[in-house]
């Protein structure tokens, strides 16, 4: 009788562990070549920021992960949910673009950079993989970055 009552608890524990092991946190976005790094009012005519280094910084500026935007200004950072708690990422981390804006447009500032908090979008199940999707909330220009 004890085996029958423990089986559901063991199965639930294994499912939770398996779910964690087969999980992924995905941070994706596009950096635009504008003074605030966001898409402009003219939408598709807004130039993108290729080859910009995007850092995920947590706490007192600790770099947890980084990526470089591609030719379309897009970046992607994948994190292990066993090492990075979703709640901590959303409350204690930000995306930082330290590459000077003047790199993509000489008329933009050559000092400072972009920063954005993180926004949870959704969780997607792809086969057995559970992916938590995060995007930048909205980039802002800071004249001085740490």
Q: What is the pLDDT of residues 5-53, one digit of tens each?
A: 443 433 333 344 444 557 889 999 999 998 888 887 766 678 999 999 9
Does the residue 52 lie in any domain?
Answer: yes
Does the residue 9 lie in any domain?
Answer: no
- Please give the tally of structural domains in the chain: 1
Q: What is the mean pLDDT of the chain?
A: 83
Range of the domain at 60: 24-142
**CB-count exposure of residue 27 (10 Å: 0-12, 13-18, 19+):** buried
Per-residue confidence (pLDDT) for residue 42, from 0 to 100: 65
Q: Between these two residues, 76 and 123, which has the higher pLDDT value?
A: 76
Does the residue 16 lie in any domain?
Answer: no
Q: Are 136 and 70 in contact (CB under 8 A)?
A: no
Does the residue 3 lie in any domain?
Answer: no
Model-level pTM? 0.79
Question: In this structure, what CATH number is given to the domain that contains residue 43?
Answer: 2.60.40
Per-residue confidence (pLDDT) for residue 2, from 0 to 100: 43
Name the range with the highest mean pLDDT among 14-18, 33-37, 111-115, 125-129. Answer: 111-115
Does the residue 45 lie in any domain?
Answer: yes
34, 55, 60, 89: CA torsion to nearest 10: 100
Q: What is the pLDDT of residues 50-99, one digit of tens each?
A: 999 999 999 988 999 999 999 999 999 999 888 888 888 999 999 999 99
Q: Are 46 and 40 in contact (CB under 8 A)?
A: yes
Does the residue 110 lie in any domain?
Answer: yes
Residues 104-115: what's their mean pLDDT? 93
Per-residue confidence (pLDDT) for residue 46, from 0 to 100: 85
Does the residue 47 lie in any domain?
Answer: yes
Does the residue 10 lie in any domain?
Answer: no
Q: Between these two residues, 63 and 144, which has the higher pLDDT value?
A: 63
């Amino acid at each position: 009788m004890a085996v029958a009552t423990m089986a559901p608890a063991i199965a639930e524990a294994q499912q939770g562990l398996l779910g964690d092991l087969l999980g992924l946190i995905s941070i994706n976005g596009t950096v635009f070549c504008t003074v605030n790094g966001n898409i402009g009012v003219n939408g598709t005519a807004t130039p993108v920021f290729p080859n910009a280094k995007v850092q995920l910084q947590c706490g007192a500026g600790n770099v947890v992960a980084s990526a470089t935007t591609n030719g379309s200004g897009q970046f992607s950072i994948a994190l292990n949910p066993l090492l990075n708690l979703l709640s901590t990422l959303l409350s204690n981390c930000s995306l930082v673009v330290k590459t000077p804006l003047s790199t993509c447009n000489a008329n933009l500032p050559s000092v400072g950079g972009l920063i954005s908090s993180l926004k949870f979008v959704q969780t997607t199940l792809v086969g057995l993989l559970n992916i938590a999707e995060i995007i930048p909330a909205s980039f802002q220009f800071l004249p001085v970055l740490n």
